[in-house]
Each structure stands twice: as structure tokens, then as C-alpha cells.
Amino acid sequence: MAVRIERYVGSDLTGTDGATNRVLTISNIGLTSDENFSVYVQGIILSLNTDYTIVHANTGTAITFLNNIFNDSYIIVNFEEAIQSSSVVYCTASDVGSFINNTFSSTTDPTTTEVESFIAENEDYIDSQTNHAWRSRTITEETHHLDKPAYQLRDGIQVFLNHRKIRTFSAASGDKLEVWNGSTWEDYIASRVEGRNNDFWVDYQLGIIFLKAYALFLPRNFGVRVTYRYGETSVPGDIKKACKLLTAVNLTEGDDRSILFPEGTSNIPLSDKARRWTEEAEKIIERHRETIVGGL
């Protein structure tokens, strides 16, 4: 839960100066509750259901003041809101906290949000180093050129993408398969039919596109550009561990974060721990490193 304190004046409420049942909508972005919720007017704490009522919501919780509220009244609202779900995938701030025997919240140093920022950076690093992903990633206009007329295989001209585990092509998701027809880029996803016996088909597991386009009707420099999504749908344990290790190393940096790491009885200097964690993470990343394989 995140703790919030907000300040208002009576003129921020609906209704007229000095009226009853005026409504204040607060700026929460997570679900509020009666617990740890308090309202003050002119420094006096109000009583729920006697002085005000409340309708809790994920955003825009509404407080109705049952007594007269004047436009120049000072109002303070203290509340807690549920922390929004994080977009990080490979590990969470809680995972990192468990690893280093610590906890994070909106009031700790670093905060949960700051730890998640480190995690997001490490996810990008892992993806770039392995040339793979364990989440959905988008590649925009990856371009392939066949500088000589490719001979027609029975299954079609092969275009080897730079990634495997391709998500099923969908125009609604922004995917494009554009072929240069000599004057413009034609999007096969929008204009052609996918299927092994149709205009094109895709080995989504290996990342290979087969185009049923004949060289006779194509320019000599046959260009294809593809916008697509790729990535595994689950995170293996060792990738999760690598992300935790790298994030723990991030937490050793800064002015003085040593207080975050209880030494216990190990007596291992924090700098040595960081070095070992980095080496272990890099070994995991190396095991998952992929090589781009080209074709015709």
C-alpha cells in the first residue's frame, strides 16, 4: 500500500459556498479503503458517516461532506491506496527483497518503484545480451534484402527473422509483413492470405517466413521489412535469478546502501558479493545467448 496526503480547499468541492453534501474527488490511482483513511477540515478530524461518507474506487474516490463546507476551508485527506501492478516480468521487487533479506515499499530507500526501475533496466540488458526475450518484445521494420533473384523453393522464398518464438501475426497488434513490389511496400498481412497453400506462411517457432511470391513479378533487389512481436511466454528460473542478481548489484551502488544487506556471519565484503553476483548472472546469460542465423 502507498501512503498519500493531499490538501484541498472548499472551492475544490462541488456545490456552492457553505452548502452541505458537497463532494470532493481525490486523485488516487489505486483502490482506497476505510483503513487509515482520515479527513480534516480546518484542523479538526471528521467522523465517517457522521461528518462525511465515502465511495472507494480504483481512481477518483469520492468524499461527500454532510456538514456545511465553505470555499475558504482548508481540507486534508490522508489515505492509503493499493500499489498498481508492475510491468516488470523477469522478477519483482519482492523477489529481490527476499534475496537480500530486506523489504521495499513506497517509503523505503530505495522505494519499490526505484527497485522496479532497476529490474526493467536489467530485463533490457538480458534481452540485448541473449538476443532473446521471455516476454513480448516488438521489432519495428526489420529489413531483409535478397540482392539476387532467390530461386523458388516449393514452400516459398525463405526470410529468416533475427528472432524466434514469433507471436502470431496480427494487424490489430501492429504487425506488418511488407514486401517491396517495385514502387511501394505492400503489407501482406493486410492484403494477402496466410497459409501454407496461400500467399505466405510462417514458422513461428523458428522465425522463418515463407513467401509464395515469384521472382518474375519482383524487382531484382527483393526487399522485405517486418514489424513483429517475439518472446517466450514464461520465465525460466535461471533468468529470474540473473535478473535478481543484477538488481541486487544495482542496490550496492549509490551513496551508502550497505545497510540494505545484513552481513550475518558470512563476513564477506559487499564489494565481493557484488562481484560474485555479477559473475553468476553473466554465466546464466551466456548459457542463453543466441546466434542470428541468416539464409537466402
Residue 36 has pLDDT above 90, yes or no: no
- Cell numbers describing residue 254: 549509490
CA distance 143 to 209: 13
- Cell numbers describing residue 177: 509483413
pLDDT of residue 139: 94
Q: Are 157 and 208 in contact (CB under 8 A)?
A: no
Per-residue burial over 11-29, b if 16 or more Cβ lie within 10 Å, else e, is ebbeeeeeeeebebbbebe
- Cell numbers describing residue 187: 503489407
Q: At what angle do helices 112-130 and 270-287 cross, to 10 degrees?
A: 40
Task: pLDDT band for 29, please (50, 70, 90 cuts).
Answer: confident
Q: Are 210 and 200 in contact (CB under 8 A)?
A: yes
pTM beyond 0.75:
no
Cα 190-196-201 angle, rounded to 5 deg: 45
Domain spans, the chain: 2-81, 93-132+234-287, 137-230
Strand, helix or coil for residue 29: coil
- Residue with the larger pLDDT of the pair 272 and 263: 272
Q: At what angle do helices 270-287 and 237-251 cross, to 10 degrees?
A: 150
- Cell numbers describing residue 268: 564477506
Percentage of the chain with pLDDT > 90?
Answer: 63
Mean pLDDT of 269-294: 89
pLDDT digits (tens, 9 = 90+) for 46-105: 999 999 999 998 888 999 999 999 999 999 999 987 655 558 999 999 999 999 989 998
Lowest mean pLDDT: which of 2-6, 45-49, 113-117, 272-276? 2-6
Mean pLDDT of 114-124: 93
